Structure 1
Amino acid sequence: MKLLKIIAVSVSIAFAPVVFADKLAVLGVQEALLKSNAAASFKKSLQNELKGDESRLLELEKQAKMMREKIQKNSSSMSDNELKQARLQFQKVFQEYQRNGQELQQKRAEREQGFIKDMKPKLDDIIRKIIKDNKYDVILAKQATVYYGKGFDITPTVVKLLNK
């Protein structure tokens, strides 16, 4: 029985399709995009665009913390009605804080997706050019690669070309 298994495995290995790649590289696509001048410029403009929203969010956070601390410190000296009012005010400010935070996150994510969508055609052209110029057979995602030797990473080259 063991002999049959060994023979079956040997035969399947012998007839398994083997792929040979003469030229291989690894690429961190997201890393290349994030290290580009365009990404730095985008990040700066996004920061300026969202500055007001972020300031408002920080102010709401500060208000909510102050209200919570006030309730914690003065709850024993407040009447039930005053305590109820203070808690309602806190809840209102906290809900506004959460809503604004979610809106800010969504706005940021939408802008980032827009940036990636705008950069994708340029990135694809650069990758095609690198493949053609260097005659690569395979380009692996850097994140999915366990090990690669020196000289296989083409990410810095992609960043240079993105910056042109």
Structure 2
Amino acid sequence: MLRPTMFRSLILIAGLVFSFNAMAEKVVALSVQQALLTSKAADAFREKLKSEFSSEQKQLIDLEAQAKKIQDDIKKGQGTQSKEVQDQQRVQFQKAYGEYQRLGQELQQKQRLREDEFLKEMRPKLDTVIRGLIETEGYDMVVSKQATIFAKPELDITAKVVELLNKQ
């Protein structure tokens, strides 16, 4: 006679056996972020960003050098300069450093906005490539590479997606 716990175990085992038959047969992994960031479009975008923000980047570097010079002058002058001169230098340093921080944050925010625009622009292209691969290769499931614990390297279609993105 079957006990209730044994009966439940048999049902569980039967369920697992039947669910194996229903599992996807052709599963692949994809790193969407890696695909987008390693494409030729991403390289071109980075170059465009670099030239677009080059003057602000140069200004940021100049402000950093200015703040470092003032800081070095303060250190060198300790004990030999009057309190007034030291106070003036500290004010200059705070002003230069504050401007450096403000400009740095502003530049980061602008770059983030531009990166978001790029990703929004690329997403439909990526979706088209992925859908095309699903249809031509007959994939049953595409999982996020970041969400997987383990996947054989041959199951990773990221390079194939990059190649197709680069052809668009």
- After TM superposition, the score normalised by the length of structure 2 is 0.88
Which residue of 56, 62, 66 corresponds with 1:63?
66
Counterpart in the other structure of 2:23: 20
**Alignment RMSD (CA, Å):** 1.9
Q: Deviation string for 1:18-62 (max 9, x for gaps)? A: 351111111111111111111111111110111111110000000
Which residue of 155, 159, 166 corresponds with 1:152?
155
Once residues 154 and 85 of structure 2 are traced to their aligned partners in structure 1, the CA distance between those partners, rounded to angstroms, is 69
Task: State the AA in 1 paired with 2:118.
Answer: F
Counterpart in the other structure of 1:31: 34
| CA spacing shift, 1:146–1:79, aligned 2, 3 Å | same
Unaligned regions of 5+ residues in structure 1, if any?
none
Counterpart of 1:151 in 2: which secondary structure? Answer: helix
Q: CA deviation at 1:12?
A: 4.0
Task: State the AA in 2 paired with 1:88.
Answer: V
What is the percent sequence identity of the aligned residues?
Answer: 43
Counterpart in the other structure of 1:102: 105
Task: State the AA in 2 paired with 1:31.
Answer: Q
Once residues 6 and 62 of structure 2 are traced to their aligned partners in structure 1, the CA distance between those partners, rounded to angstroms, is 71
Task: State the AA in 2 paired with 1:108.
Answer: Q
Task: State the AA in 2 paired with 1:74.
Answer: G
Once residues 7 and 75 of structure 1 are traced to their aligned partners in structure 2, the CA distance between those partners, rounded to angstroms, is 85
Once residues 12 and 132 of structure 1 are traced to their aligned partners in structure 2, the CA distance between those partners, rounded to angstroms, is 34
* 1:52 pairs with 2:52: no
* 1:137 pairs with 2:159: no
- After TM superposition, the score normalised by the length of structure 1 is 0.90
Higher mean C-alpha displacement, 31-40 vs 95-104: 31-40
Counterpart in the other structure of 2:120: 117
| CA spacing shift, 1:78–1:9, aligned 2, 3 Å | farther
Counterpart of 1:136 in 2: which secondary structure? Answer: coil
| CA spacing shift, 1:96–1:5, aligned 2, 3 Å | farther
* 1:161 pairs with 2:164: yes
Moved over 3 A (4+): 3-17
Which residue of 21, 43, 46 corresponds with 1:43?
46
Task: State the AA in 1 paired with 2:76.
Answer: K
